[in-house]
Amino acid sequence: MSIIRVNQLKYKYPDSDALAIDDLSFTVEKGEFIGITGMNTAGKSTLCYALCGLVPHFFKGGYGGTVTIDGMDVLTHELSEITSKVGLVFENPFSQMTGAKFTVYDEIAFGLENMGLPREEIHKRISDTMKMLGIEKLKDENPFSLSGGQMQRVAIASVIAMKPAILILDEPTSQLDPEGTEEVFRIVDMLSKRGMTVIMIEQKLERLAEYANRIILMHEGKIIHDGLPAEVFSRENLFEYGIQPPLYVKIAKALNIQDAQTGLYPVKLQDMHVDRKLSFSIQAARSINYKTVKIDVHNLHFSYNEGIDIIKGMNVTLEGEPIAIIGQNGAGKSTFVKLLKKLLNPNAGEILLDGHTISKRTAAKLAGRIGLVSQNPNDQIFKNNVLDEVLFGPLTIGQSKEVATTNALAMLELVGLSEKTDENPYDLSLAERKMVAIASILAMDTDVVIFDEPTMGQDYLGKLKVKEIIHSLYEQGKLVICILHDMDFVAEVFDRTIIFSNGNILFDGPTRVAFSNKAILHQARVEQPHLTKFVGKLGYEEIILDVNELK
């Protein structure tokens, strides 16, 4: 018998008129790995809530149809009975820590104590789970002192220890760096191989395609396609649903690799059988050069605590084409841009903006010259409507009301939100709020624009938009600097890349050269883009950054 049966499920949130889930029916067998994909707002998270009983027990609202978990009707059972069968892990690792436990060991115990398990059983389950997930070393750490990836593994451990039959993961890696992402995927893959039923929402489709037995493509609360990864990702109209196929499908299309019988494209690396010789047309760097302001950094040093330098004597000149800064967490990337923005003061060294030192100005005074889009839009949004939010920065730095409004409307147009100027930012999706945050910095019309992780949590359309914005800013003669973890995006968009490692600049130069230097990438613990890696594995020397370069 199927472990999950969903029959004509409909649901709408209490404060909304639209159905978040619109007539879904499907079944899941024990041990399956189901990937769910679709753009933001497709109803994926809501479906997860419905599968673990939070809908309708925690989120009220209009509910119709049935969800049966392991023979248990979700509607008529207590939430605690359902959650003993279904574990949920979601995006934000911080808010999944209870806050009431002071060590990782005790944190994992929390759910087991609530279940009322005997003490010996609790100890046994904690040590088994920690061993299985490889987190024994974290046993005595305070949960809040961990890195995002470690915290997310503890969150998974806490849920797994309760021995649910089904594990649901709602974009568990969207807030993690590549290393943390890797840690989480490794665990999920292992759990699935051990026979656990896994349902995973994920934007990283290469991974989903590799692990999942089945993909459910959702759009506006409905299931568009429920089938094998190769079937779903070979659809020609994926773009209409706001997703792009995994990279291997794109490569296969460029190289015409298709299954002879089914006409489907391969979705994972091991299915890519390239039986002919490839040739390449390497694209030259963009020839048009726009003039921008120039930032000179001389011998920059910074430390939060004496003796532990975060930035160890950096020298770099930033001007011209958009620049990507890459490197592991803790390499000093965010600290570096905060120094540029004067949110922090250097211990030694100097930063010159067009030849003038910035050390005499406050962050607020510098705001008219250098804009910084922070990672989390929720850190800045406080107005009741989108237009006012975007107007705040321009007005604060002294633009007149007319100029500010013109700028704000132009930028909302650029980020694709001109229809939503009167809405409350908090009624928008997270991806849209990110766009509001971007618009609110761009409207200040600064000479320099710095983005901290603009692609994080964005779906395909969002990334496309960010790419457009970066190009358009450069065309307006603005200096764009981007901190990024998404190497595919770096390869696609930037010609100049700076690699940070441990407070130093390891490399500064053309992106293609950056991704060719294995020693430096290894030292900075940065991966090559998927495409580059793939071509390398086929035995070619060339460093390929774009699918269009394949012949």
Partner 1 sequence: MKTMTLYREKDSPIHRIDPLTKLLFAIVAVSTSYIVSNHVFVLCVLTVTFLILIAGKVIKYILPVIALSFLLIASIIIVQGFFHPDRATVLFEIGSIPIYKEGFSIALLVTLRVVTMISAFGVLILTTKPDDLVETLVEKGLSPRFAYVLLSVLQIIPQMVALTGKITDAQRARGLETEGGLFVRFKSFIPLLGPVVLNSLNETRERSIALEIRGFNSKSRRTYLHEREPYKFGLPLKIILVLFLVTVIVWRVVS
Binding site for partner 1 (CB under 8 A): 52, 54, 58, 78-80, 83-84, 87-88, 90, 92, 94-102, 106, 109-119, 122-123, 126, 142, 144-145, 155, 158-159, 162, 338, 341, 343, 362-364, 367-368, 371-372, 374, 376, 378-383, 392-393, 396-397, 426, 440-441, 444
Nearer to partner 1, 121 or 419 (CB): 121
Residue 311 Cβ vs partner 1, minimum distance, rounded to whole Å:
17
Compute the radius of gyration of the chain from its Cα atoms.
25
Nearer to partner 1, 54 or 506 (CB): 54
Burial class (CB in 10 A: 0-12, 13-18, 19+), 159: buried
Burial class (CB in 10 A: 0-12, 13-18, 19+), 464: middle
Residue 437 Cβ vs partner 1, minimum distance, rounded to whole Å:
8
Distance in angstroms (rounded) separating the CA atoms of residues 501 and 523 = 8
Instruction: Report CA 193 to chain centroid distance, whole Å.
Output: 25
Nearer to partner 1, 55 or 257 (CB): 55
Distance in angstroms (rounded) separating the CA atoms of residues 350 and 373 = 23
Nearer to partner 1, 81 or 350 (CB): 81
Nearer to partner 1, 433 or 485 (CB): 433
Question: Per residue, what are the HEC states of 121-159?
Answer: HHHHHHHHHHHHHCCHHHCCCCHHHCCHHHHHHHHHHHH
Residue 487 Cβ vs partner 1, minimum distance, rounded to whole Å:
26
Residue 403 Cβ vs partner 1, minimum distance, rounded to whole Å:
15
Nearer to partner 1, 8 or 114 (CB): 114
Q: Strands (DSSP E) along 210-307, which ranges?
A: 214-219, 222-227, 294-305
Residue 173 Cβ vs partner 1, minimum distance, rounded to whole Å:
17
Nearer to partner 1, 151 or 505 (CB): 151
Element (H, E) at 510: strand 504-510
Contact 248, 268 (CB under 8 A): yes
Name residues whose C-beta falls within 8 Å of residue 549's C-beta, 6 or more positions apart in sequence: 280, 281, 282, 283
Nearer to partner 1, 41 or 380 (CB): 380
Contact 251, 534 (CB under 8 A): yes
* DSSP 8-state symbol, 259: -
